[in-house]
Amino acid sequence: MGDVSTLNNGLTVAYDEVGSGNPFVLLHGFPHNRSLWAPQTSALVEHGRCIAPDLRGFGESGREGPYSMEQYAEDVVALLRNLGIERAVIAGLSMGGYIAMALWRLRPQMVRALVLADTRPGADSPETRDKRTDLMAVAKAEGPAAVANTQIAGMVGASTRAQNPALVDGLHQMLAAAPVEGIVGALQAMMNRPDSTHLLPTIDVPTLIIVGEEDSLTPVKESRAMHAAIPGSRLEIIPGAGHVSNLEKPAAFNHVLSEFLSALNYA
């Protein structure tokens, strides 16, 4: 299932690939890696050709810069080209959603449909930029485990925290394994990303918006606003889930995602 592709820009990208047929791409958030999507890659094999890459700087992918939302998007485009894919469903969670929006801005012809999970369209506020600068300093001085310690509380909802400590531990391990170069690069990319709000009304491909009811990082109101702005979009709120809704409530997440993928008309 795991493979490596060298992009035309020289970056090596590690990715999981399962299934066959209509392609869909799963883009993880910050500071995750492709294992975030294990509950989807194992369950959605019947629903098409599923590709889950480690983004630049994370997991087993190369760590060299430059880092920007546009660069992440171009990395995805280059990976799809290497795999002979011209158009795919693009699904992104949180930072993965920021990349999905950059792909829509830069390469709309490559986007068959969008899944925007636990994400937001807006740019960072000045306060958020300051927090990102502080987190870069933490990453450089204390390493990824310290970053994981600061991020873990917001990653899951109150229900998961109370009921599933094993999931929280596993997620903490994932965050603590993130390379410092990837953390710093992603923070720079997120700080500098443009506001995508004005793009939402231009989205004319089928769009599914998913959010955990208990998501405190990208709260439900952000998803409701995206739903109102994207013509014909569908909004699914997952009860008992927080920011990593796909990991916290995989059955519910997979149900809405598989229904959405099945309903796409490829004729």
Q: How far apart are CA 187 and CA 128, in angstroms?
A: 10
CA separation for the pair 218, 84 (Å, rounded): 34
The residue written with tokens 């989807």 in the block is: 40
Instruction: State yes or no: residue 52 binds ligand MLT (CB under 6 A).
Output: no
By CB under 6 A, what part of segment 179-198 binds ligand MLT?
Answer: 190
* C-beta of 49 vs 139, nearer to ligand MLT: 139
By the rule CB under 6 A, 57 interacts with ligand MLT: no
Beta-strand runs (E) in 86-231: 88-93, 111-117, 207-212
- Residue 94 is a binding residue for ligand MLT (CB under 6 A): yes
**In the complex, what is the shortest distance from the CB of residue 66 to ligand MLT, in angstroms, rounded to a whole number?**
19
Coil vs helix vs strand at 259: helix
Specify the residue, 114 or 190, whose C-beta has the smaller distance to ligand MLT.
190
Nearer to ligand MLT by C-beta: 49 or 101?
Answer: 101
- Where b means 16+ CB within 10 Å and e means fewer, 26-41 reads bbbbbbbbbbbbebbb
The reply to whether 95 sits near ligand MLT by the rule CB under 6 A is yes
Q: Name the minimum Å distance from CB 69 to ligand MLT.
A: 11
Interaction of residue 29 with ligand MLT, rule CB under 6 A: yes
CB 32, min distance to ligand MLT, A: 7
Residue 159: other Cβ atoms inside 10 A: 17
CB of 28 within 8 A of CB of 55? yes
Give residues in contact with ligand MLT (CB under 6 A).
29-30, 94-95, 190, 217, 243
